[in-house]
Amino acid sequence: MLQLRDESAAEDAVQETLMAAIQGASGFAGQSSVRTWLIGILKHKVIDHLRRISREKPLTVATRPVEETDISDFDALFVADGHWAEAPCAWSNPDQSLQQSRFFEALERCLKGLPDATARAFMMREVMGIETDEICKELRISASNCWVMLYRARMSLRLCLEQTWFQGERE
Amino acid sequence: MRFNLNCKETSRLLSQGQDARLGLTERIALRLHLRVCDACTHFSAQLQFLRQAMQSWPGPEENPPE
Ligand SMILES: [Zn+2]
């Protein structure tokens, strides 16, 4: 276990360095081939990472991307005239939450509730900052479905965090 | 595209705005809606917070006991 932890810490360090490079640290800015190469590495890391967090979750029909791009199930979150059925609240002291490991546990539980391809697309976008067209290519989904998956992820996560953390028992 | 968005349309545009630069009309329509809608203003802040949270996320292996 110790070795695993060290390995993971080492990976994190590498990842951070690479991400800094990708996010436009000056030396790398013009070198698109280096950038492409780094993104290739990171994509695999993200996918491994996602496999680890979802390993206990049984596969369901919703793991097929085609099932995850249907937007009609979000209709329940809005009333007929397009207003929120339940209006999003102001989250108190969100920055403080980022200092708490319990917040990240809540976030992980919410992430685990996402369908696989949706979680994958969201992580690529938000953790790695990969552009949507590259995410679509990687996941083999159409560009028009890509934004639906990201929308789905954001709508689900914000609702989950609001219910389980910001209005829940955050202690 | 119309200028008077409802909340559902606004939420979709706000999400798309996290991934690509929106057109001028869309940006104006969003601004008009956000000026009068607290719920969507909260939603918008939450999307930005989600991004910040994902970037600060230490990853599933690291949950140091406190
Ligand atoms: Zn609204």
For residue range B5-34, list pLDDT tens digits in order.
Answer: 999 999 999 999 999 999 999 999 999 999
CA distance A42 to A16: 10
* Region of poorest pLDDT, from A28-32, A80-84, A86-90, A94-98: A28-32
Tokens, residue B19: 């991934």
DSSP-based three-state secondary structure for A84: strand
The answer to whether the Cβ–Cβ distance between A126 and B51 falls below 8 Å is: yes
pLDDT band at A139 (very low <50, low <70, confident <90, very high): confident
Q: Say if residues A101 and B66 touch (Cβ distance below 8 Å).
A: yes
Tell me how far apart the alpha carbons of residues A151 and A71 are, in angstroms, rounded to a whole number.
Answer: 9
In chain B, which residues touch A (CB < 8 A)? 6-9, 11-12, 15-16, 18-20, 38-40, 42-43, 45-47, 49-64, 66
Q: Does A94 touch chain B (CB under 8 A)?
A: yes
pLDDT for B43 = 98
Residue A158, min C-alpha distance to chain B (Å): 7
CA of A80 to the centre of ligand 1 (A): 13
Minimum distance, in Å, between the CA of residue A31 and any CA atom of chain B: 22
Neighbours of B44 (CB within 10 A): 22
Select the more confidently predicted residue: A96 or A69. Answer: A96
ipTM reported for the complex, 2 dp: 0.89
Least confident of A93-107, A151-165, B50-64: B50-64
Q: Select the residue of B16, B39, B54 nearest A84 (Cβ to Cβ).
A: B39
Calculate how far, in angstroms, residue A82's C-alpha sits from the geometric centre of ligand 1.
8
Which of A90, A101, A132 lies nearest to residue B20, judging by beta carbons? A132
Q: Residue type for A94, please?
A: P
**Is the pTM here over 0.90, yes or no?**
no
DSSP state of B28: H
B4 CA to chain A: closest CA distance, Å? 12
- Min CA distance, A85 vs chain B (Å)? 10
Q: Do A157 and B20 touch (CB under 8 A)?
A: no
Q: Measuring CA to CA, which residue among B46, B35, B17, B51 is closest to residue A89?
A: B46
Ligand 1 centroid to residue B37 C-alpha, Å: 5
**DSSP type of residue B52:** H
- What's the pLDDT at A2? 39
